[in-house]
Chains A and B, each alone.
Chain A
């Protein structure tokens, strides 16, 4: 999937969770993406993140960094 589209989707998720009171926003973003995004999409966005993460909102970036740290697929190649 195109990085532009994934970035937009991640930012949308972050924009929702940044206003929620009872959860650490980054964790909520990470949990949502882990629950609904297929590993293919996660691998793509991690690759984008590693390449600088252009366009990502701060909370989206924080959520993805938190997720990448605990997600086994983060270490798999994009083409898998």
Chain B
């Protein structure tokens, strides 16, 4: 595939039904009202010269290169800032404007170094291009203008440089940081020829910059340039693919030289991100070729043995023989698998097929068990389907945004930029979170209400909000009457009106002032389009599923469903966690969320797969580990997950793993779980395979192979090899054939194919005969289940209580630069922003314990103890401490407990009673983990294999 570049229309394209007809260079054209003359010309194929304009930014009109002549108008207006009008006659190329453009270019070039041949942007520089387009042949002013050559380039950022000498002060970077990213880290300092882009800090790294790359993307010269381009040169080919980090699912162009990635460029055609990116997707892809990658299959008899490299066939045969031996000795149900939310839909589908058809049981689960399984249960119960209701662009029409238990600027940064854009315009913001997240107060945004509740009281708060709406007559009765089950509504309304749900009562348990609860409820009910966005702060509780239903109740009661700007929207953590759930990764469901006990569904799968399938639900991840500890569950195939780090109560997890006789880990790296494995299948990164990911808005997007798998097999081929060794006949030559099988077996995917994905770019499920182009917004005229179902959501305090011994509540979360358990991001330069997990603690709690900022502190819970450095933080409320779980050495999950959601077993990560005190040593677990970690990872390489 050759190098492709997306067309730049100069200013954003407009949509709308009002059309305007005008003439450009003698050709009639019709465009939506509000379109600029520049974009109208570009749409008909005429590129008007430009420098300060680009279609990801609103017009600025500073460079004066895009001047045109318009009949009946004086002068030469800038085409970027001039909207089209009916009957307008435009000339884009006259002697007058050509002379003016050349004059403008002369001024630019007089202030710009002419080192084009050695410049890193050579061939990819709009200034160079425009000099050619305007026919610049001479610079009457010479080249002695102010070139700022005495200012050293700022290379503080690990991924890009800033070189003032190349800057033409077009402000595209400043505007991108403001309009696209919403960080406002850049400005123009000085005047005239002394004007410079400034960061407001000592350098880029020391500024507010979040390294999203929007400025680099917008820069028309080499002023802001990727270090990879400076080092390697320009790409020669590109491949459209999808980011493998968070659940936003940004479209990217992998720009390559041969089989080497030169840079990842966010795609404007990517409907999830529309040309934007974050520091992870844009820059942190180096892990894919990191030296730690394991590229040969390995086996060992005991976990204390060194790993022995073997061929793929030997690895498959050994793994299959072990699994069959275990089943022979301990029963059919003694083995299982975990699918990966980092792998593709097709790979996930194959693993669950292997379990159901090959292992002969339903012991398959996925990491959604420990994150968004309550979303599936709660939304299916109330609305009828296990997914969010909106597309991302819906937020542009929201009037009140309710963010609950989510930290979008860190965990879903590209969507957060969309949200911030809407908030800067006019939308109101309500934050429900124990911590003061960044969104609470950021550039030109301040939350209207922050309900800083005590961890574990979500349900009480959502009930109190609903109580205000019910008792103050703020229900959208027309919506409820038409769309919801009235009997359920009436029962719910009676329940919610009880005194125990009144804000005055809830204040006592949640710590949130009655006045704030009432004001937030009134705003949400009366402020226009109300949209709920939530994260793991909702789901990872003992009442996670109840809280999801509580939010659904609130949305139904206020009529905030079924159109743009509203909805109940989970912000999914990993890139394909939605897809993993869709593909039948849960032990009780086939693809499309159909229970294994449903005879008609099972018949369909049995017919196509040619085997008999179990009608009983399998074991969930926590159940598998419990059974392993009991000695009855003996074999586990883990594709792309690291349960020894990510799952709660680490010591219980590792006890279970140690008790198993064959653990197979398929991953890019020897992760924490691999320390307890007997077989290692080397995995393939998203750059090394074909497939699809499904993001948080149900958008299915293509992943395309940019380079050969480092280990020789893509992950789907590895599962096929393992299946074959187990005696299963799975025949696929390409992942597109797996998708065809998914479509044949899954009604919500019936219309999905690779051909359609290529045609449409991406598709939001359901996609079938009823919705051949997909479904951006769910439940438009009716709920999937018919009538919306209100559920009673009684608040039940968690059993995890603070005591004299454990007086503080620990809650956990993520940070922008890191991803999940860190195996990827910690093998990139992103470590510069986060080299360890720290414990955030309020000054009051710190002072009570004699803790100073930076002290090493021991955190103890009933599950275990670890030590972290303390950071005194005003984000925290007294009584609550917080840490991230990105570093294995931290052992954050050594402290978390085995308490879980009542409906789904999703662990209660967000509430752990702890004590914190100063210490001068790492915990016993940390010392032991460090001592044993290397021993359990020794690889006995053959002489030739080491080369």
Contact = CB atoms under 8 A, between A and B. Distances in A.
B902 A5 contact: no
A24 interface: no
Candidate in B792, B898, B902 with the most chain A CB atoms within 10 angstroms: B902
Contact of A19 (B331, B597, B618, B794): B794
A72 to B, nearest CB: 10
A20 B792 contact: yes
B903 A16 contact: yes
A73 B794 CA distance: 32
A20 B542 contact: no
B626 A20 contact: no
17 contacts: A2-B626, A9-B900, A12-B902, A15-B794, A15-B902, A16-B546, A19-B495, A21-B488, A22-B487, A22-B491, A35-B597, A38-B333, A38-B362, A38-B587, A38-B619, A39-B616, A79-B632
A44 to B, nearest CB: 9
B792 A21 contact: yes
B321 interface: no
Contacts of B587: 38
A58 B619 CA distance: 26
A36 B627 contact: no
B630 interface: yes
Contact of A13 (B597, B898, B903): B903
Nearest to B597: A35
Candidate in A5, A21, A34, A38 with the most chain B CB atoms within 10 angstroms: A38
B801 to A, nearest CB: 14
Contacts of B630: 1-2
A9 B899 CA distance: 9
A39 B792 CA distance: 29
Interface string B514-545: 00000000000000000000000000001000
A72 B18 CA distance: 66
Given A1-B623, A35-B597, A38-B587, A20 B791 contact: yes
Contacts of A2: 626, 630
A32 interface: yes
B623 A38 contact: yes
Contacts of B505: none
Contacts of A39: 333, 616
Contacts of A79: 632
A32 B900 CA distance: 16
A15 B618 contact: no
Candidate in A21, A79, A80 with the most chain B CB atoms within 10 angstroms: A21
A23 B200 CA distance: 61
Contacts of B617: 35-38
Interface residues of A, number: 25
A49 interface: no
Nearest to A20: B792
Interface in B161-188: none
A36 B620 CA distance: 9
Interface residues of B, number: 35
A36 B623 CA distance: 11
Interface string B535-559: 0000000100010000000000000
A35 B595 contact: yes
A41 B623 contact: yes
Interface in B847-897: none
Interface string B792-807: 1010100100000000
B618 A38 contact: yes
A37 B362 CA distance: 11
Nearest to B798: A12
Interface in B877-935: 898, 900, 902-905
Contact of A40 (B488, B542, B627, B791): B627
B595 to A, nearest CB: 6
B902 A9 contact: yes
Interface string A56-75: 00000000000000000100
Interface string B762-805: 00000000000000000000000000000110101001000000
Contact of A1 (B546, B597, B626): B626
Nearest to B331: A80
A13 B905 CA distance: 11
A78 to B, nearest CB: 10
Contacts of A9: 900, 902, 905
Given A9-B902, A21-B495, 9 more contacts: A1-B626, A1-B627, A2-B626, A15-B796, A15-B902, A19-B794, A20-B791, A35-B617, A38-B623
Given A32-B903, A39-B616, A5 B898 contact: yes
Nearest to B543: A16
A40 B546 contact: no
A80 B632 CA distance: 10
B616 A38 contact: yes
B902 A21 contact: no
B468 to A, nearest CB: 20
B490 to A, nearest CB: 9
Contacts of A15: 794, 796, 902
B588 interface: yes
Contacts of A1: 623, 626-627, 630
A68 B489 CA distance: 33
B546 A22 contact: no
Nearest to A14: B902
A56 to B, nearest CB: 15
Contacts of B333: 38-40
B921 to A, nearest CB: 33
Interface string B487-500: 11001000100000
A32 B595 CA distance: 12
A2 B620 CA distance: 15
Nearest to A16: B902
B898 to A, nearest CB: 7
Candidate in B488, B617, B630, B794 with the most chain A CB atoms within 10 angstroms: B617
Nearest to B334: A40
Contacts of A41: 619, 623
User: Lowest 3 A-B CB distances belong to which pairs?
Assistant: A12-B902, A21-B491, A1-B626
Nearest to A10: B902
Contacts of B900: 9
A39 B615 CA distance: 11
A54 to B, nearest CB: 17
Nearest to A72: B616
Interface string B337-379: 0000000000000000000000000110000000000000000
Contacts of B546: 16
Interface string B558-602: 000000000000000000000000000001100000010100000
A22 B488 CA distance: 8
Nearest to B630: A1
A5 B903 CA distance: 14
Given A1-B630, A19-B495, A21-B792, A36 B588 contact: yes
